[in-house]
Amino acid sequence: MVATTSNTVPVTVLTGYLGAGKTTLLNRILTHEHGKKVAVIVNEFGEVGIDNQLVIDADEEIFEMNNGCICCTVRGDLMRIIGNLMKRRHQFDHLVIETTGLADPAPVIQTFFVDEDLRDKIALDAVVTVVDAKHIQQHWDAEEAQEQIAFADVILLNKTDLVNPEELAELENKIKGMNKMAKIYRTQNSELSMDALLGVQAFNLDRALEIDPNFLSEDAHEHDETVKSFAIVESGELDGEKLNNWLSQLLQTKGVDIFRMKGILNIAGEDERFVFQGVHMLLDGKADRPWKEEETRKNELVFIGRNLDEAQLKEDFRQCLV
Amino acid sequence: MFGVGEKSKILYQQQWQGNLSEYVTAVIWSPDGILAASSAAGEVVLWQDGSLINLLPAGLASIDCLAFSADGKFLSAGGQDGKVRVWKISSDSLVENQVNLISTLDNTSKWVDKLSWSSTCNQLAFSLGRYVQIWDADTQTVVATLPFTNSSVLDLAWQPNGENIAIAGDGGVKVWSTKDWDDDPYLIDMPSASIVTAWSEDSKYIASGNLDNTVTVLEYGSHLPWIMRGFPGKISNLTWSQSLANHAPLLAASSMEGVAVWKKAIDDQDGWDARVLTLHNDKVQALEFHPNSLLLASAADDGWLGLWTKAKQVGQILEGAPHGFSSLAWSKDGQRLAAGGRDGELIIWSESKRGRGFG
């Protein structure tokens, strides 16, 4: 999935509640003169106002891969429709998938990890979540609202004209507590530069950890939210086997609660950085560029999830050090 | 893998090559030896003995599926624009003014990517989201709308004896009796989605290729399916061989770049034995048994079209689509083979006189 050859088509997954401004954003993407041919897959209630052969209606159809495990669900409709679309891929060079307001973004992402036909041809670019700054408060406790924020690489804090600056600052802090990996943009009418939306490459492993350095060094804040993000930073070398055992155990037992994870690791005996990222139980990793001479070799991991025991995870990770 | 001597054998030789403007989505032969082909640019063409007729020009929306009626008098096409078009072919040989569009069923916003004619009457089945509609060419009306319900329809197949139609999707295969469309379908229950389904020519067995990397085979009427495992990925293609004397037909399936052929053991309880065919190094896009021998054709993204003698060894490798083959079809008499390519190549081979007797 993370192949970075030019043959792969980047995909943006667009989430957010009904009325948050997704359709406005879609129409912007479709009409903007960005020189890209964008194909858009909208859900059945989509109201994209543009007559365009590259706007395709889809029903969100969740297929279970493996006995009802949440981590093994995929979007059957996307496998079929994108399979059909890929037959003529020189006709479009970016794909945008809109999900319904009540959808969990995970099955969409997992489809691109799991499906053999898509994983080599599709490169997930970013999950973009549009948040209605005024109405999100009403939905704050809803699972799908938390998932949409937790999975995001880019968050549009939209309709900022409808709330006062204090409310906005508080909201932004709250979102940062849940997901510090995401870039947050304050917008009105979903107005945002296309560079910030398309071609973000947030899912590209080579850029997996372009994380705000402050985030990694910052002490974890205490939040009341059950969904939160935190980082583990440790110097030292990792025992490859111990790490493997820990990760597979972790994904098996906590996969449901881990929404996303990313990391750069220093494995004993390896000259290259090892980079990985995961969605629920699915993990994708590879050897990256060699460590530079002047570089301090260290391990950096970021977790976003629900009910994660940060202290325990940190302790378990330390046990993997040589 | 295969001997050098085998490779040089000529079973089929190229007879004709043409080009569509885009990825060839489907190729199919009529009983009268007319070839139809469609493309991702929306083209539909007919070919016979070197002459070509354009039925639909290149446009914006793709045509993804084609089918001839059993008597060869009707051709239907479905695609991204949701329209199902039906042409009537009034003569046995290809004459332009004898091919007329007689009906266009408009199903806006649904992508029609599966359609098939009954082999016993002029009824057409096509996918329509979570439904399959049955359209009768004689009365030119929709006679039934079958609700698959669980998911969009992923494949459909008429039983060759005309008694049933099988519809594949999430949760398995549902089989409707053609005698009473309102009757509840029989469910062949599966833990994941059925992606492709195919009946054996003798109507006895039904196979399903599944999302969870398995193939299910049921002797229709029995309630205990066989389940075959060991595939590297989801199943993309299924094909049954001709009927064999005193033995169940062979079943071939492809998954990613792999092809496997199953032969049923004498005793039901021993299940089916697999043989893996190794040749391709990229996804197999089409797989079809010759209509009256055990010659198996596999066409793949690697640009190779493999002909497997007795469904065992590579007898010949055909080329002509450097960026990959996308589709293939045997003519009904087996004397011709057509294939389409990713870049619009359309190639026809005919049986070699030299090779005859050795296949």
pLDDT along chain B (359 residues), means of 10: 54 96 96 96 94 92 96 96 95 83 88 96 96 96 96 97 97 97 96 96 97 95 93 95 93 97 92 94 97 97 97 96 97 97 97 63
| Mean pLDDT, range A202-220, rounded to an integer | 58
Domain boundary among A177, A204, A231: A204
Q: Does residue A70 register a pLDDT over 70?
A: no
How do residues B27-72 score in pLDDT, each as one tens digit? 999 999 999 999 999 999 999 988 899 999 998 889 999 999 999 9
B153 conformational bin, left if phi > 0, alpha if psi -120 to 50, beta if neither: beta
- In this structure, the answer to whether residues A163 and A219 fall within a common structural domain is no
Which one of B62, B130, B285 makes the best mutation probe of the A interface by having the most chain A beta carbons within 10 Å?
A: B62
- Residue A48 and residue A172 in one domain: yes
A156, A185, A204 - which closes a domain: A204
Are residues B60 and A115, on separate chains, in Cβ contact within 8 Å?
Answer: no
CB contact under 8 A, B130 and A59: yes
> B152–A76: do the CB atoms touch at under 8 Å?
yes
- The residue whose two tokens read 């005193």 is B246
Q: What are the counts of helices (DSSP H) followed by strands (DSSP E) for chain B?
A: 1, 30
Rounded to whole angstroms, the Cα distance separating A98 from A16 reads 9
Per-residue confidence (pLDDT) for residue B4, from 0 to 100: 43
**Which amino acid appears at position A114 of this protein?**
V
Q: How far apart are CA B344 and CA B350, in angstroms?
A: 20
Amino acid at B52: L
Residue bearing tokens 């009418």: A189
**Cα–chain center distance at A38:** 20
**Which two three-digit tokens encode residue B270?**
């021993």
CA distances (Å), origin B28, targets A68, A180, B76, B147, B348: 39, 54, 11, 27, 11
* Interstrand relation of B115-117 and B99-106 (parallel, antiparallel or unpaired): unpaired
- Tell me: do A165 and A296 sit in the same domain: no
Which residue from B80, B111, B170 is facing A63, i.e. has the nearest CB?
B170
The CATH code of the domain that includes A255 is 3.30.1220.10
Question: Considering the domain boundaries, does residue A2 fall inside one?
Answer: no
Say if CB A247 and CB A299 are below 8 A apart: no
Is A49 in the same domain as A191? yes
Residues of chain A in contact with residue B152, where contact means CB-CB under 8 angstroms, are: 59, 61, 76-77, 80
Q: What are phi and psi of B355, to 5 degrees?
A: -80, -20
Whether A139 and A132 have beta carbons less than 8 Å apart is answered as: no
A128 in a structural domain: yes
Which among A53, A65, A84 has the least Cβ separation from residue B60? Answer: A53
Closest alpha carbon within chain A to B60 = A53
Q: Parallel, antiparallel, or unpaired for β A183-186 and A282-290?
A: unpaired
Structure tokens belonging to residue A299: 């391990």
Whether A255 is covered by a domain: the verdict is yes
CA-closest candidate to residue A313, choices A240, A211, A231: A231
The answer to whether B40 contacts A87, with C-beta atoms less than 8 Å apart, is yes
Q: Are residues A155 and A198 in the same domain?
A: yes
Are the C-beta atoms of residues B171 and B152 closer than 8 Å to each other? no
- Binned at pLDDT 50, 70 and 90, residue A44 comes out as low
The residue behind tokens 């007879």 is B15
Q: A121 to chain B nearest CA, in Å?
A: 12
Put simply, the answer to whether B64 touches A53 (Cβ < 8 Å) is no
Between B39 and A49, the higher pLDDT residue: B39
Q: What is the mean pLDDT of residues A279-286?
A: 86
What pLDDT score does B233 carry?
92
Q: Which residue of A has its CA nearest to B324?
A: A87
What strands lie across the sheet with B35-39, from one edge to the other? B24-29, B35-39, B44-48, B51-56
Residue A273 inside a domain? The answer is yes
- Residues A191, A48, single domain; the answer is yes
pLDDT at A33: 79
Domain, as residue range, for A222? 213-318
Whether residue A4 lies inside any domain: the answer is no
- Number of structural domains (chain A) is 2
Per-residue confidence (pLDDT) for residue A215, from 0 to 100:
54
Neighbours of A241 (CB within 10 A): 10
Res A34 pLDDT > 80: no
Same domain? A82 vs A123: yes
Which residues is B60 bridged to in the sheet? none
Q: At which of A187, A204, A221 does a domain end?
A: A204
> What is the domain-level CATH number for residue A85?
3.40.50.300
Give the pLDDT confidence score for residue A71 in this predicted structure: 65
CA distance B235 to B195: 7
Chain A nearest-CA distance from B238, in A, is 17
Tell the burial category of B356 from Cβ atoms under 10 Å away from its Cβ (0-12, 13-18, 19+). exposed
Q: Flag if B211 and A57 touch (Cβ within 8 Å).
A: no
DSSP A24-50: HHHHHHHHS-SS--EEEEEETT-----
Residue closest to A275 by CA, chosen among A199, A182, A204? A204
Distance from CA of B342 to the nearest CA of A (A): 8
Q: How many other C-beta atoms can be found within 10 angstroms of the C-beta atom of residue A286? A: 13
CA distance B76 to A25: 39
Cβ–Cβ gap B151/A81 under 8 Å:
no
A274 close to A240: Cβ distance less than 8 angstroms: no
Nearest CA-CA partner of B196 in B211, B207, B209: B209
A92 contact B CB<8A: no
B308/B4 Cα distance (integer angstroms): 14
pLDDT at B50: 86
3-state secondary structure B103-156: EEEECCCCCCCCEEECCCCCEEEEEECCEEEEEECCCCEEEEEEECCCCCCCEE
Beta bridge partners of A254: none
CA distance A286 to A73: 24
Alpha carbons A125 and A108: distance in angstroms, whole number: 13
**What is the predicted pLDDT for the residue at A204?**
72
- B61 vs A65: CB contact, 8 Å cut-off? no
- With 0-12 / 13-18 / 19 or more C-beta atoms within 10 angstroms meaning exposed / middle / buried, residue B106 is exposed
Binary contact (B154, A80; C-beta < 8 A): yes
Q: What CATH number labels B4-239+310-351? A: 2.130.10.10
Dihedral sign for Cα B7, B11, B16, B18, please: negative
Over the stretch A123-171, which tens digit does the pLDDT of each residue have? 899 999 999 999 998 888 888 899 999 999 999 999 999 999 999 999 9
Distance (Å, rounded) from C-alpha B146 to C-alpha A93?
A: 37
Same domain, A186 and A307: no
User: If you average pLDDT over residues A97-106, what whole number do you get?
Assistant: 88
Determine whether the interchain pair A84/B211 forms a contact, defined as Cβ–Cβ distance below 8 Å. Answer: no
**Does B25 contact A87 at a Cβ distance shorter than 8 Å?**
yes
Q: Residues A171, A234: one domain?
A: no
Amino acid at A186: R
Smallest Cα–Cα separation from B61: which of B45, B47, B77?
A: B77
pLDDT of residue A279 exceeding 70, the answer is: yes
| Alpha carbons A208 and A185: distance in angstroms, whole number | 20
A88, B256: Cβ pair inside 8 Å? no
Per the listing, tokens 């209630």 go with A45
- In angstroms, how far apart are the furthest CA atoms of chain B? 57
- Average pLDDT (A63-84) is 82
Task: Give residue A276's pLDDT band: very low, low, confident or very high (50, 70, 90).
Answer: confident
**Chain A residue with Cα closest to B255:** A116
Contacts of B326 in chain A (CB under 8 A): 87
- Best of A41, A85, A88, A120 to substitute, by most chain B Cβ atoms within 10 angstroms, is A88
Decide the pairing of beta strands A282-290 and B325-330: unpaired
Selected for mutation to probe chain A from B23, B153, B229 (highest A CB count within 10 Å) is B23
pLDDT for residue A206: 60
Kindly state whether residues A174 and A299 are assigned to the same domain.
no
How would you class B285 by CB atoms within 10 Å of its CB: exposed for 0-12, middle for 13-18, buried for 19 or more? buried
- Shared domain for A189 and A248, answered yes or no, is no
A289 part of a folded domain: yes
Q: What is the band of A66 on the pLDDT scale with cuts at 50, 70, 90?
A: low
Using CA coordinates, name the residue in chain A closest to B151: A61
Answer whether residue A1 is part of any domain: no
Task: With a cut of 60, say whether residue A46 has pLDDT above it.
Answer: no
Q: Give the best-scoring range by mean pLDDT among A246-250, A307-311, B27-31, B89-93.
A: B27-31
**Residue A3 counted as domain residue:** no
Distance of CA B230 to the CA centre of its chain: 23
Q: Which helix (H) or strand (E) holds A61?
A: none
Cα within 13 Å of Cα(B268), Cβ side: 8
Partner residue facing A81 (CB), from B111, B232, B233: B111
What residues contact A81, with CB distance under 8 A and at least 6 apart? A41, A56, A58, B111
- State the pLDDT at residue A2: 38
Residue with tokens 């945008």: A96
CB contact under 8 A, B192 and A65: yes
In this structure, the answer to whether residues A259 and A184 fall within a common structural domain is no
